[in-house]
Amino acid sequence: MNVRRRYLKDLCFQVRRDILRMVNNANSGHPGGSLGCTEYFVALYQEIMHYNPKKFTMEGLNEDLFFLSNGHISPVYYSILARSGFFSINELSTFRKLNSRLQGHPSTHGELPGIRISSGSLGQGMSVAIGAALSKKLSKDDDCSIYSLHGDGELNEGQIWEAVLYAGSKHIDNYIATVDYNGQQIDGTTDEVLSLGNLKEKFQSFDWKVLEELEGNNLDKVINILKKAKNETRKGKPVLIILYTQMGYGVDFMEGSNAWHGKSPNEKELEKALSQLPESLGDFPII
């Protein structure tokens, strides 16, 4: 394994430790989906997107932009932003604290670098992402791409399908959306709550290019599918990645269980979880 890939795998371990420690410290938050999406965020921010964390602007001209629609998985988002240089790693200890910039759902109120929309009202992120993609298409000098992430349970929202129809009909082909398909949502499995049916065929019928990755917690494969998606942009269709992940991945007693959608581990559970995740790059201090 080369040095770069070893670093990225170590970063996955560290991001997972950040998630668990942040949620435990706040006694509140959503660890399950955050743990399951770790490889996606590490791949996206470390290998795929073009951006400058030290010169963050809301406009993001000539940069790739990312929008988190399922904002409740903010722990993984904050961790990768801090570990990618947008703000101090030490600030992770303020997660969900009074007057913190790191609210339970991302907010623009505190002007936190890396955050361009307040999110967490499910179903809205794709519409915002499409607007940003259209803005870049109107600028002849900006050929960068737009990325967004959505939960599979979030697809129960009707606004998603209005946006899917619009993007396909209007050929928004500088846009890559990803669905975190872990089969779990707060009230049970996605099949129990409201079956999504054949998601690939549905998006294809709306004139999207659809890619699937069955191993969404395999870092190498996530990097590869994101690169493949980027190669499919500017070809007349928006691109969807269906990324099959496991909720709670990396912690044996959390894996595959919707019970950890929005539950904080207690001290004993935290100790057990962290014992499975080596402190590879250094924990943030609890302040």
pLDDT tens, position by position, 7-54: 999 999 999 999 999 999 999 999 999 999 999 999 999 999 999 999
State yes or no: pLDDT of 242 exceeds 90: yes
Tell me what pLDDT residue 18 has: 98
Mean pLDDT for the stretch of residues 199-215: 98
pLDDT at 148: 98
> Cα 208–210–211 angle (5° rounding)?
160
User: What is the pLDDT, as a whole number, of residue 244?
Assistant: 98
Determine the average pLDDT of the residues in 88-114: 96
Residue 234 CB coordination number (10 Å): 12
Q: Is the pLDDT of residue 1 over 80?
A: no
Superfamily covering domain 3-274: Thiamin diphosphate (ThDP)-binding fold, Pyr/PP domains (3.40.50.970)
What are 119-137's pLDDT values in tens digits? 989 999 999 999 999 999 9
Q: How confident is the model at residue 203 (pLDDT cuts 50, 70, 90)?
A: very high
pLDDT > 70: what percent of the chain?
Answer: 100
Model pLDDT, residue 120? 83
Residue 141 has a pLDDT of 86
* Residue of 157, 154, 149 lying closest to 34 (CA atoms): 149
Give me the percent of the chain exceeding a pLDDT of 90: 96
**Cut 0.95: pTM above it:** yes
- What's the chain's average pLDDT? 96
Can you give the pLDDT at residue 195? Answer: 94
Residue extents of the structural domains in the chain: 3-274
287 band by pLDDT with thresholds 50, 70 and 90 = confident
- Answer whether residue 103 shows pLDDT above 80: yes
Query: Which of the four pLDDT bands, split at 50, 70 and 90, describes residue 63?
Result: very high
246-282 pLDDT per residue, tens: 999 999 999 999 999 999 999 999 999 999 999 999 9
pLDDT band with cut points at 50, 70 and 90 for residue 153: very high
